[in-house]
Amino acid sequence: MFDYLIVGAGFAGSVLAERLARGSGKKVLLVDRRPHIGGNAFDHYDDAGILVHKYGPHIFHTNSREVFEYLSTFTAWRPYEHRVRASVDGQLVPIPINLDTINRLYGLSLTSMQVEDFFASVAEPRETVRTSEDVVVSRVGRELYEKFFRGYTRKQWGLDPSQLDSMVTARVPVRTNRDDRYFSDTYQAMPLRGYTRMFENMLDHENIKILLNTDYREVVDVIPHDRMIYSGPVDEFFDYRYGKLPYRSLKFEFQTVNQEWVQPVAVLNYPNEHLYTRVTEFKHLTGQEHPKSILVYEYPMAEGDPYYPVPRPENNELYKKYQALAEERSDVHFVGRLATYKYYNMDQVVAQALSVYARIVGQKRAEATRAEAARPSTPAVLAASRKERQHGPVASLSKALAAAGNQSA
């Protein structure tokens, strides 16, 4: 009844559903165990009428023109450059560490050239950089490592930086100028009407049926399909044959406050003095005007929904065993952060999904993602009411089966 059963309605699954349906005319059933599309990027209006990200802040940034233009097919954008402050020694200072961070922290007035000399004087060179501790200490020395990185990393990952792959802290730059943007990517913006609206536009196609609140294992043997695309945890797919892959989870505590603004920037990091790692004020991200504000406190957890693969050599070796099993399944494509056990950003997941689609249709990625002349250039104008009226999300197994039956007829 369906050409593809796609497991997971986050970026990986939704991009492939859209491409297969709109780009290749395939009939797709998109299944997610959660009650919504969008995966961890899902946003919604809370009781106060403020747009919040249910699973913590998601800030879009990329250097890929191809990825940005592809997503621009489904949303207009609000220009936004993300800024973060860290609570260190009783001050809120820029992070990533830059010239202002050092001058404020130590009461100095260094220039860019002088701060380079400062970093060189405190750095502890390492012959081999293997761990996250090596990365930071070799660049900015032991004291700044302790102030900004060690406590935050231990809370976030449940491990000391000396036990984690270098990629964890290598993601955070160190600057000698006053640039206080968290990211330096070419394209930095937020979906104008939110991520959920973007996903709704992406999945607004007659060949896509959506089944929510459903574990794919409940339907995989019931609803006929030719092939599967899987974006869930790879170890779960294979019934934990070699044991569980380690993930870190998060607990979110939302707080509504009766004042317009609380924080000077969207995110404040707390490397040391609290159990939570950071606090986000959403209106900085969305640009929404509202007399109230909402904050979310993030508490890293060992158990719960899998968010972050834990980058350690032994975990990578365990994943390779599951990867070998995945490569034996010619009928299943494994895509996304959980299915490939990679600490991907959103744009990297989109790029991976576009690459998989290109392989499926036997094209180069740029060819596979080139917009059709007939496709609307501003899909944000698509009305949600039209989507729901024509082919809105399938809410139950019985409706999915009925839809499949109607298609076969």
> What's the gap between Cα 274 and its chain centre?
24
105 touches 184 (CB < 8 A): no
Q: What is the pLDDT of residue 368?
A: 55
188 touches 9 (CB < 8 A): no
Q: What is the pLDDT of residue 293?
A: 98
Residue 340, Cβ neighbours under 10 Å: how many? 19
Q: Distance between CA 129 and CA 243 in Å, rounded?
A: 29
Q: Which domains does the chain have, with CATH numbers?
A: 2-41+191-244+310-408 (3.40.50.720), 97-170 (no CATH)
Residue 280, Cβ neighbours under 10 Å: how many? 24
Average pLDDT of each block of 10 consecutive residues along the chain (409 residues)?
Answer: 97 98 97 98 96 98 98 98 97 97 96 95 91 94 96 95 90 92 97 98 98 97 97 97 97 97 98 95 97 98 94 95 97 97 96 97 66 39 35 43 44
Q: What is the pLDDT of residue 168?
A: 87
Q: Distance between CA 93 and CA 111 in Å, rounded?
A: 17
The model's pTM = 0.88
331 touches 227 (CB < 8 A): yes
Structure tokens belonging to residue 252: 């979110």
Q: What is the chain's percent helix, strand, coil content, to nearest 5?
A: 40, 20, 40
Q: What is the pLDDT of residue 204?
A: 98
| Beta strand residue intervals within 16-132, DSSP E | 28-31, 43-45, 51-53, 60-62, 77-79, 84-88, 91-95
Contact residues for 392 (Cβ-Cβ < 8 A; gap 6+):
210
Peptide bond before residue 271 is cis, with ω within 30 degrees of 0? no
